[in-house]
Structure 1
Amino acid sequence: MPLLLGIDNGLTVTKAVIFDETGQPISIARRRVAQSMPRPRHVERDMDDLWTQTAAAIAEAIANCPRPASEILAVAATAHGDGVYLLDERRRPLGPGILSLDSRAAEIAAHWDTDGTADTALQRTGQTPHASAPSALLAWIRDHDPQRFSRIAHVLACKDWLRFCLTGEIATDLTEASTSFTDVETQVFAKDILPIFGLAQLEGALPPILNPSDIAGYVTPHAAQATGLVAGTPVAAGLHDVTASSLGAGGYGHGRIAIVAGTYSINETVSAAPHTDKRWFCRNGLSRGEWNNMSISPASAANYDWFLDTFCQTDKHAAEAAGRSLHVDIIPEIQQAMAQPSTAIFHPFLFGSPMGADASAAFFGLRGWQDRGQALRAVIEGIAFNHRIHVDALREGFAPDSAVLTGGISRSPLFSQIFADVLQIPVEVTDTDEAAAWGAALCAGVAAGIFTDCADEPRDLKQLTKTYIPDPTRSARLDRRYEIFLDLAKVLEPIWPRIEALGGEKQ
């Protein structure tokens, strides 16, 4: 039985997962990749270290695999979208990679909203530029680091850098190409788009576009030595991790919304024609003639992780010492809080929001007699409320009738039921621990000739899927809380910039 390697690089961890052709993971290895935040709103990481850690993860996965690396027929990578990873003419990193959490270009994106650039971009590319879009980040580098800008020879996404390290070949894929510079109708780069953002001189720096399952190159001897892979192993082009996650979880397709609750609130649905709107990105799907409509914001499960890391460290260490997960102890607290009335509401805007870069997180309605469970309930509900903002937009545009939820939160039946009740739509959860890596591996499987196309899922998804049906009583109660959630945001809209300005005051 042949093997496939899927590489999944997130914002803090890079993973290598070896699957057999039935989709069963048989070896997994992880490495942390350090972030640096040299200044407010700057979120970066060293590109060489990213490759070093990814190569180490691959080597560990191969070393722990009960079968030899020669049985890995193909490799594909997925990674966070947006941000930029730049190379000079020698094909060496041109400074650190910029992550999708970076918001240094927020003022540029805001200016484009007022001067007509954003409207033009939406019409031509299918999306409004935002703070971490390649268009905005490259414009920031042009304005603030012109020497670096003048040396840009190749503009890549994260997974494209990793694939380059494996193969020595420059390319991107259909899904990743559409983050800023493709024509929404033709789905390829167009000469008139870079000038929209004042970036005309970068035309030669955009990489060739491949289909996600096309062979982009082969593992070089140097990469083979670093990873343990066999030199000459085919490497597929791969895909954006948002698309990979929905594909791997069985949520990619027409008539449904794929929801990824991770660092970002990701909500997407597929269409057979481009349909543009400021509320979502109309990006390329897995193949030409298919579009993936993504409504997203950096405001999801990372808020829950922040709460546990910030306020529950003692309990976390105690649970780990006892061989348990903190979640085992926390869930009953939240269940108890759910059974009681609560005034607590939380805006999950620690890292960003759908309301702009100035919006910040906050608790409202807290009382002295409320406990940690009530606060955590508010956090989880706030995360689901934020997803609903995006899901409601997609429902209006595409009328999907079901949703598929993935991400760490989906492992909790309580949290999955909250999503169903908040969204008022059946929510399916597929038993897939490494959805994004499996989505990449499916592309590798097509490149290797094992599967006919990327959606050629070998698993019996019906056996792996549990469906959560909305409870009408709970949905009505949560609907009232959601209205207050939105009203608070509306009231705070003129105040958020004033709050943000406090961060720039000298002490």
Structure 2
Amino acid sequence: MSIKRDAATGPCLLGIDNGLTVTKAVVFDASGRALAVARRRLPQQIPQPHHVERDMAGLWQATAEAVAEALTLSGRAGDIAAIAATAHGDGLYLLDAEQQPLGPGILSLDSRAAGIVETWEQEGISDAALRLTGQKPHASAPASLLTWIRRNEPERYAKIAHILACKDWLRFCLTGTIGTDLTEASTSFTEVESQEYHPEVLPLFGLGDLALALPPIARPDQIVGHVSAAAARLTGLKPGVPVVAGIHDVTASALGIGGHGKGRVAIVAGTYSINETVSNMAKTDERWFCRNGLRRGEWNNMSISPASAANYDWFLDRLCGEDRARAEAAGESFHQLITPEIEAAFTRPSGLMFHPYLYGSPHGAGASAGFLGLRGWHDRGDMLRAVIEGIAFNHRIHIDALRQGFAPNQAMLTGGISRNPLFAQIFADVLGMEVTVTETEEAAAWGAALCAGSGIGLFASPTDDPRAPETLGTCYRPDLARQAEMNRRYALHCEISARLEPLWQQIEDLAGAGA
């Protein structure tokens, strides 16, 4: 799907946003208005359970096609003044000494290294990593994946020359230069206080021989190269256009919705439950990642899990597939059609609950999803109500942790489900705080574009958003009666999780026993 807006004159910025399933290219004017958007779907490869990958050459080809289409739609190819990319964080994209892809890219949904992380937890390595790097490693962290490759694919490991993130690969394809940015560098390998690579980090994970493979670090808005002739031929960009280092997508989304700053928590309800607040001092806790901010002396405190709106999408895909297909064939929005059923479910009492752990959880890789309290008289609306509540409850787990550590008093919410006023109100009631739903189009791409604009001096800094804050969204305030009910349901949600924790691995083992 593509979008075109009437164009004006003046400099334009290109923001590239590469997610887990779609890559997007967005042309913005200097006021932040999206002039054109082009998308390409990105197929995932799952060669075996827990392995989630993508072809790196195919990723660049799809992105180049999206860029070319966005430029054509905008009619402003000659006005692109700077470019920045953002992409899914964590995961792993490797190059060999000839700067060629070394196997497929590994996505942040990959969990092949979960056993390694469990061992590190038992051996105290995770605690040591928390003290040194500001975070405990997780299954899709670069350090965990590199350790898995070292143990299981030694020939591939021996050829590693460059360790990149997804958006760093796109930067290389655009410019031919290798490096990363401050936010991405801290996904595994920087020391939390200095915010730089530290000689003790790689050896902690048994990866000491990879020190030369770590990419140089730049600020997200620092110009690191220019569009090459080869990239220009593929995309329609002019050769020589400046490209900045780019930014981790969690931070890009927060920046794009106006949620990046002290006292604010930025919430992204997408594939992942992403909850982030900024501080001017490093504060570590196992409940959040303390990672680098946009500049030195600033930290992004991110509490996340792969347990958000993907659960809602799964329900619609698997359990409403035929109805959804008919609606879309008729040109109707199935989301709008299904909303009255969910609204009706909120008018009646319900003991139905859902734990949204289809793809992961804050409780470890062994946790799985499930409905509890399901009865024969419950209908599709009741089940979707439970799914939405479960998603909001999972976000609250993370936000409660951040509130204890940093006391943010303002929430900004984005993500596909946030566009539904009913769902936005549920978030406000569950969190017990005012929630502003941003109307920003393509928030992550705009966050990247802000970095590009800052890099060429169009903006004073990446946080110098030219849009008026009061125009960014709609504020939802908690309904006091429903907030009290949600508090009770949330407490039960958490208690059930605690009681199930000893059983989740036994449930997981059933699948192995039947293999």
TM-score range, shorter chain: over 0.9
Aligned to 1:243, which of 245, 251, 254? 251
What TM-score comes out, normalization by structure 1 length? 0.99
What do residues 442-472 of structure 1 show as CA deviations (whole Å, max 9, x unaligned)?
0010112210100000011202321111111
1:504 alignment partner, SS class? helix
Which residue pairs with 1:364 in the alignment?
Answer: 372
Instruction: Find out whether 1:51 has 2:60 as its counterpart.
Output: yes
Which residue pairs with 1:10 in the alignment?
Answer: 19
Provide the aligned length of Structure 1 versus Structure 2.
506
What do residues 156-200 of structure 1 show as CA deviations (whole Å, max 9, x unaligned)?
000000000000000100000000000100001011110000000
Q: Percent identity?
A: 64
In 1: Cα distance, 2:171 partner to 2:314 partner: 31
In 2: Cα distance, 1:455 partner to 1:505 partner: 52
Question: How far does residue 320 in structure 1 lie from its aligned partner after superposition?
Answer: 1.1
Question: How far does residue 483 in structure 1 lie from its aligned partner after superposition?
Answer: 1.1
Asked if 2 retains the 8 angstrom alpha-carbon contact of 1:174 and 1:284, the reply is yes
Asked if 1 retains the 8 angstrom alpha-carbon contact of 2:134 and 2:192, the reply is yes
Which residue pairs with 1:393 in the alignment?
Answer: 401
For structure 1, the residue ranges without an aligned partner over 5 or more in a row are: none
Instruction: Find out whether 1:336 has 2:341 as its counterpart.
Output: no
Asked if 1 retains the 8 angstrom alpha-carbon contact of 2:93 and 2:164, the reply is yes
Asked if 1 retains the 8 angstrom alpha-carbon contact of 2:89 and 2:166, the reply is yes
Question: How far does residue 390 in structure 1 lie from its aligned partner after superposition?
Answer: 0.2
Question: How far does residue 321 in structure 1 lie from its aligned partner after superposition?
Answer: 2.1
Question: How far does residue 66 in structure 1 lie from its aligned partner after superposition?
Answer: 2.8
Asked if 1 retains the 8 angstrom alpha-carbon contact of 2:34 and 2:441, the reply is no
In 2: Cα distance, 1:258 partner to 1:25 partner: 21
1:493 alignment partner, SS class? helix
Aligned to 1:410, which of 413, 418, 423? 418
Equivalent position amino acid for 1:117 in 2: I
Which residue pairs with 1:101 in the alignment?
Answer: 109
Which residue pairs with 2:230 in the alignment?
Answer: 222
Asked if 2 retains the 8 angstrom alpha-carbon contact of 1:266 and 1:294, the reply is yes
Aligned to 2:143, which of 122, 135, 144? 135
Equivalent position amino acid for 1:44 in 2: E
Instruction: Find out whether 1:486 has 2:491 as its counterpart.
Output: no
Asked if 1 retains the 8 angstrom alpha-carbon contact of 2:13 and 2:452, the reply is yes
2:465 alignment partner, SS class? coil
Equivalent position amino acid for 1:10 in 2: G
In 2: Cα distance, 1:33 partner to 1:297 partner: 22
Equivalent position amino acid for 2:286 in 1: K
- 1:52-201 aligned at under 5 Å gives the runs 52-67=61-76, 69-201=77-209
In 2: Cα distance, 1:229 partner to 1:463 partner: 32
Which residue pairs with 1:467 in the alignment?
Answer: 475
In 2: Cα distance, 1:256 partner to 1:456 partner: 16
Asked if 2 retains the 8 angstrom alpha-carbon contact of 1:88 and 1:152, the reply is yes
Which residue pairs with 1:28 in the alignment?
Answer: 37
Question: How far does residue 391 in structure 1 lie from its aligned partner after superposition?
Answer: 0.3
1:266 alignment partner, SS class? strand
Equivalent position amino acid for 2:23 in 1: T
Which residue pairs with 1:435 in the alignment?
Answer: 443
2:437 alignment partner, SS class? strand
What do residues 349-395 of structure 1 show as CA deviations (whole Å, max 9, x unaligned)?
00000000000000000111110000000000000000000000000
In 2: Cα distance, 1:464 partner to 1:40 partner: 41
Equivalent position amino acid for 2:147 in 1: A
What do residues 32-61 of structure 1 show as CA deviations (whole Å, max 9, x unaligned)?
111000011000000000000000000111
In 2: Cα distance, 1:338 partner to 1:234 partner: 51
What do residues 313-342 of structure 1 show as CA deviations (whole Å, max 9, x unaligned)?
111112112211101101111111011101
Question: How far does residue 111 in structure 1 lie from its aligned partner after superposition?
Answer: 0.6
Which residue pairs with 1:258 in the alignment?
Answer: 266
Question: How far does residue 402 in structure 1 lie from its aligned partner after superposition?
Answer: 1.4
In 2: Cα distance, 1:338 partner to 1:2 partner: 48
What do residues 40-87 of structure 1 show as CA deviations (whole Å, max 9, x unaligned)?
1000000000000000000111111133x1100000000000000000
Asked if 2 retains the 8 angstrom alpha-carbon contact of 1:430 and 1:461, the reply is no
Which residue pairs with 2:46 in the alignment?
Answer: 37
1:432 alignment partner, SS class? coil
1:257 alignment partner, SS class? strand
Aligned to 2:353, which of 327, 339, 345? 345
In 1: Cα distance, 2:269 partner to 2:377 partner: 30
In 1: Cα distance, 2:314 partner to 2:53 partner: 19
Asked if 2 retains the 8 angstrom alpha-carbon contact of 1:156 and 1:172, the reply is yes
For structure 2, the residue ranges without an aligned partner over 5 or more in a row are: 1-9
Asked if 1 retains the 8 angstrom alpha-carbon contact of 2:257 and 2:472, the reply is no
2:513 alignment partner, SS class? coil
Equivalent position amino acid for 1:259 in 2: I
In 2: Cα distance, 1:228 partner to 1:448 partner: 21
In 2: Cα distance, 1:191 partner to 1:134 partner: 17
Which residue pairs with 1:447 in the alignment?
Answer: 455
What TM-score comes out, normalization by structure 2 length? 0.98
Question: How far does residue 290 in structure 1 lie from its aligned partner after superposition?
Answer: 0.2
Question: How far does residue 433 in structure 1 lie from its aligned partner after superposition?
Answer: 2.2
Which residue pairs with 1:425 in the alignment?
Answer: 433
In 1: Cα distance, 2:328 partner to 2:128 partner: 52
Asked if 1 retains the 8 angstrom alpha-carbon contact of 2:291 and 2:299, the reply is yes
- 1:269-308 aligned at under 5 Å gives the runs 269-308=277-316
In 1: Cα distance, 2:263 partner to 2:407 partner: 7
Instruction: Find out whether 1:324 has 2:341 as its counterpart.
Output: no
Which residue pairs with 1:314 in the alignment?
Answer: 322
Instruction: Find out whether 1:378 has 2:386 as its counterpart.
Output: yes
**Root mean square deviation, CA, Å:** 0.7
Which residue pairs with 1:355 in the alignment?
Answer: 363
Asked if 1 retains the 8 angstrom alpha-carbon contact of 2:271 and 2:306, the reply is yes
1:415 alignment partner, SS class? helix
In 2: Cα distance, 1:39 partner to 1:293 partner: 33
1:5 alignment partner, SS class? strand
In 2: Cα distance, 1:7 partner to 1:404 partner: 22
Question: How far does residue 505 in structure 1 lie from its aligned partner after superposition?
Answer: 2.0
Asked if 2 retains the 8 angstrom alpha-carbon contact of 1:266 and 1:297, the reply is yes
Instruction: Find out whether 1:19 has 2:28 as its counterpart.
Output: yes
Asked if 2 retains the 8 angstrom alpha-carbon contact of 1:421 and 1:475, the reply is yes
In 2: Cα distance, 1:375 partner to 1:430 partner: 27
Q: Which runs of 4+ in 1 moved over 6 A?
A: none
